[in-house]
Structure 1
Amino acid sequence: MSRARILTVAAGVAIGSTLLVAPAQAAPAKAQDRVECTSLSNGQLCISLNTSPSRVEVFYTKKSGGQIRAKLGYRTTNGGSTYGPTESISTGDREVQTWTMSYRCDVDWKGLIKVEGQGTFETPWATC
């Protein structure tokens, strides 16, 4: 581990903050990107507010269980929700939905997965 990384981890521990680590299968986040993830019973759901180019990505990595049919989306604190198309997702799959746009920083963002027959699951709020 590099000295800079050790100092960063030590600083985070010293001030009591939580360091967020993007999932191993996710593209590495840039310093300006905001990523929030949640563990679900059969996988992990994340939202990433990316820079350069400006885009919102929601991704789900299915780690176990049977095949599902689901769509990924996002919701903002101003009440709007948007979803991509319904996809079949099997164990070992990583499904990604990307919206290339200038996202607003005056609202917060949640990643969503709407699974047929099971309901909707969400990430914690991501902020700019």
Structure 2
Amino acid sequence: MIRRFSLAVAASAAVGFSLLSVPAHAAGTQAPNPVAQRSGDHVKCTSLDNGQLCIVMDNSPQSITTIYTKKDGDSIKAHLGYRMRGTSTYDKLEKIDKNDRATSTWTMSWPCNSAVGLLKLENGKVYETPSATFPGC
């Protein structure tokens, strides 16, 4: 493990990365799996001018989560939501500041359907993710 750690440090120094950006398996440790890597999940994201919008479709329990990470710019007021089979559903209006992450989750049962994640600004402008589906659908 010490040798792998040393190699990770040397490799990260050679490419200008900090050790924190080296994947856990390269440093010889086991990190917990993020939600996007759990079995049965499917994630689609899109980059926006001031952040990133993602949808996570999970099958344990069956749920849809929309996540907006605001990386820059002024605060906004927006609703997170999703659209499935032509119907849009939104959560409450919330203020999202720079460096904040807003998340909304809906738990439900459905057959194999696709969905898009939505970010609806207070002024009515809507942004969406690419369509996501469950693996195996």
The normalised TM-score by structure 2 is: 0.69
Kept in 1, the 8 Å contact 2:36–2:42? The answer is no
> Which amino acid in the other structure matches residue 64 of structure 1?
D
Do 2:50 and 2:72's aligned partners in 1 also have CA atoms closer than 8 Å?
A: yes
Greater percentage in helix: 2
Aligned partner of 1:33 in structure 2 is 41
Q: Which residue in the other structure is 1:46 paired with?
A: 54
Q: 1:55 aligns with which of 63, 73, 76?
A: 63
Query: Gaps spanning 5+ residues in structure 2: where?
Result: 1-33
Deviating beyond 4 angstroms after TM superposition, the runs of 4 or more aligned structure 1 residues are: none
Return the TM-score normalized by structure 1: 0.74
User: How many residues of Structure 1 are paired with residues of Structure 2 in the alignment?
Assistant: 101
> 1:83 corresponds to which residue?
90
110, 117, 124: which one aligns with 1:111: 117
Letter in 2 for 1:113: L
Q: Which has the larger radius of gyration?
A: 2
> Displacement, 1:118?
6.1
Could you list the runs of 5+ residues in structure 1 that have no partner in the other structure? Answer: 1-25
In 1, the alpha carbon distance for the partners of 2:120 and 2:46 equals 14
Contact 1:68/1:89, CA 8 A, preserved across alignment: yes
Whole-Å separation in 1 of the counterparts to 2:111 and 2:65: 14
